[in-house]
């Protein structure tokens, strides 16, 4: 069936008492030529039932899941899934099939989309799921077919610019919960570390994870198209044959920029002239998206010929990680202009800032709202393959084997140690993921707002600078203001969701502008010298740095909160240390415990002294009363 819009399929997943999670209905069918009630799945989407019907779902009456699926053969982008889960008592059904043997029936209605409209799809899907369950007859599938037609007609012209993309993702709630740690999460992802989010139920998990990603300019709109390039495991025995299957694995993962550059050199002089031009015509040099089958190894170019790019060989997992982690700087220099030409824009930026009277001692930047004209110019990134704006946003973080999996099923656990996966931002509800700490660099426990970083060196790199602490404190103060006022809570610009995203956008733009400046050690120290050094070794930085971004000449290249050290900074640093270090937490707990004991002791002493005084007073009163009565008797 011809695709008429962004929605690819409507799928119903149920739990069978013998077979487990399985697809019960799909419209259009997931595999061409099969019926709507077929249980078979494309090999690339074999984990779909376990993602749509999450682990531990039986503990909740209803839940919502966001998940990502790898592209199928012939497709080039991530498939975005939204699933609404509900359960109902079997005795309440009007029509009860023979295979329903349990007291409750658990099902999920799922939308597979080409657009990352998580919150918008969720809002529509929740209503339909409720209506589908209210029928109490799951054979009534006409409502699901109507949902498919309605979504494609209503979302067909939906733009990825604007508030619809961020529906349901609240940075304000994130800052209220994580407070100063939000910037640490932001930097962890910039460094392309292995980050695991953990909480149950799933809707809190995926909501927090995707909200963190929404802080990166353009990331949700255009930065996730290559974020789920993984190969499903066929069997346990596949691990033993990993070396034999390595060529097929290499076909599946993205190729390095070095190979893309070499391919440019082989295209002829006509195509060479376009190598430095970041235009849509530069798609000839794009890295082909991964394909799981041998028939999809090549990428179709605009002239109809198939280009096959050779992937670098890897002798071991260690060398594999090294290959994926960095790009050869010489490759990027070849595709760039000469070094002298590179430095010219930096000096021009400095002159522009001086001519505008921008001082390094200027006040903190507060970003004001800008009208969304809908005329944002996006061009195809030559190396990243993503649609980029004039600043090079979104950064190419979720490319080349760095995965974004808002929810991971237990069946996907092997991806955490897969040699073709160089990193991930993933969410899990199963405690087995959290227990295996050696498979991640950081575990974010959402319930306690705790960010557990295992490596001491990484903790040092992410230790916030004074300017970073000011930035975080600025966010927290603005978000917490008016939070108790029901009429102002979250409705104003300052402290609102869009305002927070604007602050992080300004922070990132300032960082990018700073790295372009000559003699920038002092400027970069406000962002963290160790952090910037580590960031310059990441794939996303090298891809960004391989192109020119003249628009950054208009951006102030200093930290938004740079300035002289003051007494308030000492308080900030002390507060952060107490809240985030283990030693500080122990001291804080000891102080709270001591204070509580003092209060309790004071109450006990007060009660004792007060009780003794009351008893003495009562005794005196009783004696005086007796004495008065005796005196009166003697008088008589």
Residue 453 has a pLDDT of 96
Poorest-confidence range of 25-39, 175-189, 357-371, 536-550? 357-371
| List of E strands, 294-410 | 299-300, 306-307, 379-380, 387-388, 402-405
Structure tokens belonging to residue 496: 């609102």
Structure tokens belonging to residue 449: 């707002």
Question: Tokens 């903790």 identify what position?
Answer: 459
CA 533 and chain centroid, separation: 23
Nearest to 580, CA basis, from 495, 447, 462 = 462
Question: Mean of the pLDDT values across residues 375-386?
Answer: 74
Residue 332 has a pLDDT of 44
Question: Mean of the pLDDT values across residues 200-228?
Answer: 95
By three-state DSSP, how is residue 1 classified?
A: coil
Segments in 302-378 forming alpha helices (H): 317-325, 329-335, 339-355
Distance CA 400, CA 90 (A): 46
**pTM higher than the cut 0.75:** no
Structure tokens belonging to residue 450: 């705790």
List pLDDT tens digits, range 572-598: 556 656 565 555 556 556 555 655 555
Question: Mean of the pLDDT values across residues 119-137?
Answer: 89
Q: Is the pLDDT of residue 169 over 70?
A: yes
- 83 phi and psi, to 5 degrees? -130, 135
Question: Tokens 């280009």 identify what position?
Answer: 307
Cβ(41)–Cβ(201) under 8 Å? no
Distance CA 305, CA 303 (A): 6
List pLDDT tens digits, range 298-326: 333 334 443 333 333 433 334 434 444 44
Residue 96 has a pLDDT of 67
Residue 594 has a pLDDT of 57
Residue 382 has a pLDDT of 73
Q: Is the pLDDT of residue 111 over 90?
A: yes
Mean pLDDT of the chain: 74
Segments in 526-581 forming alpha helices (H): 529-535, 539-545, 567-580
- 34 phi and psi, to 5 degrees? -110, 165
Cβ(64)–Cβ(203) under 8 Å? yes
By three-state DSSP, how is residue 237 classified?
A: helix
Region label for 114, one of left (φ > 0), alpha (ψ between -120 and 50) or beta (otherwise): alpha
The Cα angle at residue 74 between residues 331 and 155, in degrees rounded to 5: 105
Residue 482 has a pLDDT of 58
Task: Output the CA–CA distances (angstroms, integers) from residue 81 to 112, 121, 143, 373, in the order listed.
Answer: 5, 9, 19, 29
Poorest-confidence range of 358-362, 461-465, 501-505, 616-620? 358-362
Residue 380 has a pLDDT of 74
List pLDDT tens digits, range 386-404: 888 899 999 999 999 999 9
- 41 phi and psi, to 5 degrees? -130, 150
Q: Which residue has the higher pLDDT, 97 or 24?
A: 24
- 581 phi and psi, to 5 degrees? -90, 150
Cβ(263)–Cβ(307) under 8 Å? yes
Task: Output the CA–CA distances (angstroms, integers) from residue 126 to 62, 130, 132, 316, 428, in the order listed.
Answer: 10, 6, 10, 47, 22
Residue 45 has a pLDDT of 94
Question: Mean of the pLDDT values across residues 465-483?
Answer: 89
Length of the chain in residues, anyone?
636
By three-state DSSP, how is residue 44 classified?
A: helix
The Cα angle at residue 235 between residues 230 and 241, in degrees rounded to 5: 85
Cβ(220)–Cβ(166) under 8 Å? yes
Per DSSP, the residues of 584-636 read HHHHHHHHHHHHHHHHHHHHHHHHHHHHHHHHHHHHHHHHHHHHHHHHHHHH-
Distance CA 335, CA 264 (A): 9
Question: Mean of the pLDDT values across residues 23-44?
Answer: 90
Q: Is the pLDDT of residue 486 over 50?
A: no
Cβ(122)–Cβ(136) under 8 Å? no
Cβ(177)–Cβ(385) under 8 Å? no
Distance CA 169, CA 111 (A): 19
Segments in 14-59 forming alpha helices (H): 48-52
Cβ(110)–Cβ(81) under 8 Å? yes
């Amino acid at each position: 069936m011809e695709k008429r819009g962004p929605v690819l399929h409507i799928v119903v997943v149920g739990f069978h008492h013998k077979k487990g999670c399985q697809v019960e209905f799909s419209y259009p069918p997931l595999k061409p030529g099969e019926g709507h009630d077929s249980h078979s799945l494309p090999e690339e989407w074999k984990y779909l039932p376990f993602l749509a019907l999450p682990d531990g779902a039986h503990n909740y009456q209803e839940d919502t899941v966001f998940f990502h699926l790898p592209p199928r053969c012939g497709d080039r982008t991530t498939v975005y899934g939204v699933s609404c889960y509900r359960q109902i008592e079997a005795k309440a059904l009007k029509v009860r099939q023979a295979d329903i043997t349990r007291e409750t029936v658990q099902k999920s209605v799922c939308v597979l989309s080409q657009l990352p409209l998580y919150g918008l799809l969720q809002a529509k899907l929740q209503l339909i799921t409720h209506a589908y369950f209210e029928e109490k007859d799951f054979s009534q599938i006409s409502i699901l077919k109507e949902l498919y037609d309605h979504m494609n007609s209503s979302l067909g012209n939906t733009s990825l610019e604007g508030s619809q993309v961020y529906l349901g993702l609240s940075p304000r709630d994130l800052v209220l919960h994580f407070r100063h740690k939000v910037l640490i999460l932001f930097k962890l992802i910039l460094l392309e570390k292995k980050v695991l989010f953990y909480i149950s139920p799933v809707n809190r998990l995926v909501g927090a994870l995707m909200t963190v990603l929404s802080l990166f300019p353009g990331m949700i709109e255009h930065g996730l198209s290559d974020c789920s390039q993984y190969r499903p495991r066929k069997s346990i025995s596949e691990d033993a044959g990993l070396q034999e299957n390595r060529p097929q694995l290499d076909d599946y993962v993205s190729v390095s920029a070095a190979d893309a550059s070499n391919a440019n050199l082989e295209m002829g002089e006509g195509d060479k002239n376009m190598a430095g031009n970041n235009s849509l015509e530069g798609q000839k040099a794009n890295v082909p998206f991964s394909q799981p089958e041998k028939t999809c190894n090549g990428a179709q170019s605009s002239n109809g010929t198939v280009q096959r790019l050779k992937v670098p060989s890897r002798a071991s997992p260690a060398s594999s990680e090294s290959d994926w982690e960095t790009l050869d700087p010489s490759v990027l220099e070849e595709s760039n202009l000469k070094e002298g030409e590179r430095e010219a824009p930096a000096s021009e930026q400095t002159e522009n800032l001086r001519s505008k009277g921008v001082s390094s001692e200027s006040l903190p930047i507060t970003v004001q709202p800008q009208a969304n004209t809908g005329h944002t110019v996006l061009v195809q990134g030559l190396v990243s393959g993503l649609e980029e704006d004039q600043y090079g946003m979104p950064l190419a973080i979720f490319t080349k084997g760095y995965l974004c999996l808002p929810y991971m099923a237990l069946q996907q656990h092997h991806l955490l140690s897969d040699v073709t996966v160089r990193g991930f931002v993933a969410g899990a509800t199963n405690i087995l993921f959290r227990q295996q700490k050696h498979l991640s660099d950081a575990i974010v426990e959402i319930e306690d707002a705790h960010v557990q970083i295992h490596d001491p060196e990484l903790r040092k790199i992410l230790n916030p600078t004074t300017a970073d602490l000011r930035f975080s404190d600025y966010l927290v103060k603005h978000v917490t203001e008016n939070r108790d006022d029901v009429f102002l809570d979250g409705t104003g610009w300052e402290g609102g969701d869009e305002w927070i995203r604007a602050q992080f956008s300004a922070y990132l733009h300032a960082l990018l502008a700073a790295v372009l400046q000559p003699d920038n050690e002092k400027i970069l120290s406000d962002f963290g010298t160790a952090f910037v050094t580590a960031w310059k070794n990441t794939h996303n930085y090298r891809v960004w740095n391989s192109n020119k971004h003249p628009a950054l000449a208009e951006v102030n290249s200093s930290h938004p909160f740079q300035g002289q050290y003051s007494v308030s900074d000492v308080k900030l640093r002390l507060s952060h240390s107490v809240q985030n270090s283990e030693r500080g937490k122990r001291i804080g707990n000891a102080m709270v415990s001591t204070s509580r004991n003092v209060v309790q002791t004071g109450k006990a002493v007060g009660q004792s002294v007060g009780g003794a005084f009351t008893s003495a007073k009562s005794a005196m009163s009783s004696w005086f009363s007796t004495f008065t009565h005796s005196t009166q008797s003697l008088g008589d």
